[in-house]
Amino acid sequence: MTTKKHNLIDQRLQDLNDDGVDRRGFLKCMAWAGTGLVWTMSGGIPASRAFAKVYGKHAGKGGDFSFVQISDSHIGFSKPANPDVTATLQTAINKINAMPQKPDFIIHTGDLSQLSKPSEFDTLDQALKGAAAKQIYFVPGEHDMLSDNGEEYLKRYGKGTKGSGWYSFDHKGVHFVALVNVANLKAGGMGSLGHEQLEWLEGDLKGRSASTPIVLFAHIPLWTIYPDWGWGTDDSEQALSYVKRFGSVTVLNGHIHQIMQKIEGKVSFHTAMSTAFPQPAPGTAPSAGPMKVPTDQLQRVLGITDVNYLVSGSSLAIVDSPLGDSGSSASGSGRGLAVVDSLLG
Amino acid sequence: MTTKKIWIVGLATTVMIALMLLAETPSVAANDQPSGASADVKIDNFSFGPQTLTVSVGTTVVWTNRDDIPHTVVSTDGVFKSKVRDTDEKFSYTFTKAGTYPYFCSVHPKMTGKVVVQ
C-alpha cells in the first residue's frame, strides 16, 4: 500500500518532469498553490484565465448548469490565521451571489465547524441562508464529527443519508455521490471509507450507464497527496475502481485548504481552497496546521470553486476563484468538468 | 500535640490529596500503590512528545494540546479516551497497571504515541 502511494507521488513528479518542471519546480508550484494560484500537475489540464470566454460561449444552453463547491469553513476557529471565519464565509457567499449565472446548488466538502458545537453549526446555517442557491449538499469533515460519533452533524445534515452520512443524487443527467471518509479512523491511518460504504458505493453505481458523468465528493482527498500528513484515503483505490468504466469522473475534495489537481485516466481530481484559513503546501512546514499570512493577503488564499457542466462536449469546467482578488483560474480536460477556483476578494 | 493526633492529621491530608487527584482525573481507576507522580506529554505540530513515554505504575500522565487545531487522545485498545481538546486544553489519565498503552488522535490518526508503564 505504502509503496503504491509512493509510486503515485513518483508518478506525479514524473508527470511534472515531463512538463519540464523539475523537483524543485514542483515544490515551487506547491508553494504557489499555497498562495492561491492554480498549478497543474500533469499535461492535459490547462491552467489559464481563459475560462470566462469558454463559459460565456456555452452559457445558457439547455441542460448546462453550474454548482459551487465551498469547503473548510471552520466556524468557531478564532486564532490569528483568521480571527473572523464567519466574515470570510460571508465574503464567499457574497461572491457566489454575485455570479452572473446562479449556481443550481452548493456543495460543502466538510469542516463546517471547528469543534462540532451546535452554536457553530447554527452560525454556518445562518450565513448559508443568505446564499442565492438554496439547495446545499454537505459531507462532514473530521471537525464535524468530534462529538458523539458525529451525532450533532447527522442530526442536522444527515437526514436521508446512510451510515455516517453518505448518499447520492442525480442532477440534470449528472450522478453525484457524497462520501464520508472521516469516521472511525484507525490509528496510524489516513482517511477511511470503510467496508460498508464501499459496498454501498458499488451498488449505487451498478447499472448506471458508462456515459453518465459522475461526481464524487468527500472531505479528505480521495487521492494520496501527502501520506505523512494523512492527506489521502486508505481505501480510496477500491472506491475509484468502481468508477473506472465511466467516461467522465470528477472528484472534489477539501481538507488541505489549497488547490491541487490531477487527471488520471478519465478521472479528474480537484481540491478546493478553504473559506477560513490556508494550510501549508505539503512538507513545507513542520505540520499541516493553519498557515498565518499577512491580513491583507488572507483573502488571496481563500476561495470558492465553481463547477460548470456543459452539455455540448459533455464537459464540466472547474474554476477556482480566490476571495481577495478578481483573478480566477480555470482548468478543464475538454472531456470532463471545468473547475473555476475563485479567491474570496 | 499527641502522636495520635499527628497521625490523624497525616491521614486526613493523605485522603484529601487522594480525593483531589480523583477529582482532577475522573477516569482514574483504583490505585493499589498510588505513586502520585505525574508526567507530561505535549501535543505540538500534530505530534505527541515524547512519542514514547515511560512511567511507573500509578503515574498520572497529562496531555496538553499546544496546537491551533483540536486533537484527541484515544487508547488504541479502548483503555482511555479523551474528549476533543482544543488549544491549551488538557487530558489526564492515571496508569494503574504495568503494560504498553498505544494511543492516537482520532481526528488525525497519523498522530500516534505510547505510554509504557513499568
* ipTM topping 0.85: no
B114 touches chain A (CB under 8 A): no
The better pLDDT of the pair B16, A13 is held by: B16
The residue assigned the cell 512528545 is B49
Q: Cβ of A186 and B109 within 8 Å?
A: yes
Mean pLDDT value across residues B98-109: 97
- Kindly tell me if the per-residue pLDDT of A55 is higher than 50: no
Position A10 scores a pLDDT of: 39
Partners of B48 in beta bridges: B43
pTM for this predicted structure: 0.79
Q: Spell out which chain A residues touch chain B, with contact meaning CB-CB distance below 8 angstroms.
A: 79, 81, 114-116, 142-143, 146-147, 185-190, 227-230, 286-290
Q: Name the closest residue on chain B to residue A220, using Cα atoms.
A: B108
Chain A residues within an 8 Å CB radius of B68: 79, 81, 289-290
Chain A residues lying within 8 Å of B84, measured CB to CB? 115-116, 146-147
- Kindly state the DSSP code that residue B43 receives in the 8-state scheme: E
Cβ distance of A186 and B110 shorter than 8 Å: no
More confident residue, A98 or B29: A98
CA of A332: how far to CAs of A45, B7, B32, in Å?
6, 82, 67
Verify whether the Cβ–Cβ distance A187 to B107 is below 8 Å: no
Give residue B86's identity as a one-letter amino acid code. D
Please state, rounded to an integer, the average pLDDT across all residues of chain A.
Answer: 80
Choice among A330-334, B57-61, B69-73, B105-109 with the minimum mean pLDDT: A330-334
Least confident range from A148-152, A236-240, B50-54: namely A148-152
List the single residue in A146, A188, A228 with the smallest CB-CB distance to B112.
Answer: A188
Residue B28 has pLDDT above 50, yes or no: no
CB contact under 8 A, B110 and A290: no
Q: Which of A116-120, A265-269, A305-309, A335-339 has the lowest mean pLDDT?
A: A335-339
Residue B31: band (very low, low, confident or very high) from pLDDT cuts 50, 70, 90: very low
Asked if B87 reaches chain A (Cβ–Cβ under 8 Å), the answer is yes
Could you tell me what percent of chain A has a pLDDT over 70? 75
Confidence of residue A308 (pLDDT cuts 50, 70, 90): confident
Q: Which helix (H) or strand (E) holds B60?
A: strand B60-65
Chain B contact set for A286 (CB, 8 A): 45
Q: In chain A, whose CA is at the least distance from the CA of B108?
A: A230
- Chain Cα centroid distance, residue B4: 35
* Contact by Cβ (8 Å): A147, B84: yes
Contact A187 B47 (CB under 8 A): no
Alpha-carbon span A281 to A295, nearest angstrom: 19
- Torsion of Cα atoms, B33 then B34 then B38 then B41, to 10°: 70
Give the separation between CA B16 and CA B14, rounded to whole angstroms.
5
Q: Which of residues 14-33 of B touch A (CB under 8 A)?
A: none
Cα(B65)–Cα(A89) distance, integer angstroms: 27
On whether any CB of chain A is under 8 Å from the CB of B76, the answer is yes
Radius of gyration (C-alpha) of chain A in whole angstroms: 18
Q: What is the mean pLDDT of residues A129-142?
A: 95
- Per-position b or e across A317-330, b if 16+ CB within 10 A of its CB: bbbbbbbbbebbbb
Q: Looking at residue A154, what is its pLDDT? A: 97
> Does A188 contact B70 at a Cβ distance shorter than 8 Å?
no
pLDDT higher than threshold 80 for residue B48: yes
Of A115, A185, A286, the CB nearest to B106: A185
Query: Is the CB of B45 less than 8 angstroms away from the CB of A114?
Result: no
